[in-house]
Chains A and B, each alone.
Chain A
């Protein structure tokens, strides 16, 4: 099941019902806390659309608190840390005004997200390597792939395919369904 979180709604519930700008660190931290409370009510595995469509302004501080810190918690950089739950995210309604702040904070932390732009197309933004991008594109194109299928699709070894798929999973960019993987954002 896909969960939907409207950021303006969270902002108005958690900070002030008159605000529509995501600015300042305390605001960002309060909104992230609101998102995490909703995530805690979901099952062990969830796909959540975080909706920026009604957000007028997003500054760097808020982007760092909401987008980067959320991902750091659910997509830890090291292999030892396990996230609190198997949560995946699609960031919807990311427009050109939001993009500068989001890309900046993602690059700073070496993170990446699946963003659904105004026109509806999905894309990876942030720090993404060439191999990860090619694998994610292949998953979007084909729909569902195992390591052997991805290896054939990209002309790489099955081991290399397995490694890149696992990296995408850890980074919350692809979801494992038994022996196959699907791109987050491709099959909402």
Chain B
């Protein structure tokens, strides 16, 4: 038997929850078919999380490509199909990737080891400066901080996930929620997640409130790490400082919980628990265009 998972017309960090709700009752060994025919738009989070979804299935899932030529073409340019091909049995029209996409700052890129982070950071620096400074009106200093943020977010996979994941960076105009341009980093993996990572710390005492939500609070708000080394846990703290400086937003989903550092312009919940379970960690960082200085 094959369970059909319908992708929403707009696939982002919020609507991906609809995908996980459909997936929740389906046993891991059961075949799934992901139907993207009616999807018209996908964020970097949507695309990278979709790749991790395939990693969680015992049997290779099916994927029907988007009907809209423009959407399929964008997914190809973002590098989605290149990485999806070994993970999904893809049907429907898959266009060839062509260059020239100016709003894709970093195509979907696998991250599994330290060298991958060097590659990602090197590529982003050559492309991001002009876009961050000229289009998003950020200070020139923001460019280096952006690369540092990207580095630390990717290292979450290298240091904690236990398996490879993906990163993607894109700019777009966020008409509905914000009405201005944003740059978005998505870093998704299907590894062990924050709770299991912290549980692996030797001698860690777990109380009755312990769970995915508490693990996210510990790691993101208090800089706790599974390592005894007091120097650990500074990466996510650095990410928080960076998004605070540029009125950005950080959200991390892991297991059954999702935590968000919410700026004034957004109305997201700081912590959600009892969500459908999904392995690993899915991070999204959003930096908005600055208007005050214009």
Contacts and interface: CB of A to CB of B under 8 A. Distances in A.
Interface stretch (A55-63, A117-125, A143-151, A154-162): A55-63
B7 interface: no
A109 B118 contact: no
A108 interface: yes
Contacts of A60: 148, 152, 234-235, 237-238
A176 to B, nearest CB: 29
B52 interface: no
A182 to B, nearest CB: 30
A74 to B, nearest CB: 16
Contact of B144 (A24, A65, A97, A109): A97
B231 A26 contact: no
Interface string A58-72: 111100110011000
Contacts of A138: none
A130 interface: no
Contacts, number: 78
A104 interface: yes
Interface in B90-120: 114-115, 117-118
A166 B6 CA distance: 69
Contact of B121 (A16, A57, A104, A105): A57
A23 interface: yes
Contacts of B17: none
A56 B145 CA distance: 12
Contacts of B235: 59-61
A187 B128 CA distance: 41
B117 A24 contact: yes
Given A24-B158, A57-B147, A64 B234 contact: yes
A21 B118 contact: yes
Most buried by A among B117, B158, B235, B241: B117
Interface string B219-245: 000000000001100110110010000
Nearest to B245: A100
B57 to A, nearest CB: 30
Which of B125, B155, B231, B234 is the most central at the interface, judged by chain A CB atoms within 10 Å of its CB?
B231
A22 to B, nearest CB: 10
A109 B230 contact: yes
A68 B231 contact: yes
A109 B118 CA distance: 26
For B148, B155, B235, the residue with the greatest tally of chain A CB atoms inside 10 Å of its CB is B148
B159 interface: yes
B141 interface: yes
A41 interface: no
Given A57-B147, A97-B141, A109 B231 contact: yes
28 contacts: A16-B118, A21-B122, A23-B117, A23-B121, A23-B151, A24-B114, A24-B118, A24-B151, A25-B159, A26-B114, A57-B121, A57-B125, A57-B147, A57-B148, A59-B238, A60-B235, A60-B238, A61-B234, A64-B234, A65-B231, A69-B231, A97-B141, A97-B144, A100-B148, A100-B238, A101-B238, A104-B237, A104-B238
Interface of B: 114-115, 117-118, 121-122, 125, 141, 144-145, 147-148, 151-152, 155, 158-159, 230-231, 234-235, 237-238, 241
Question: 3 shortest A-B CB distances, which residue pairs?
Answer: A64-B231, A97-B144, A24-B114
Given A24-B158, A25-B114, A59-B151, 6 more contacts: A19-B118, A56-B125, A57-B147, A59-B238, A60-B235, A104-B241
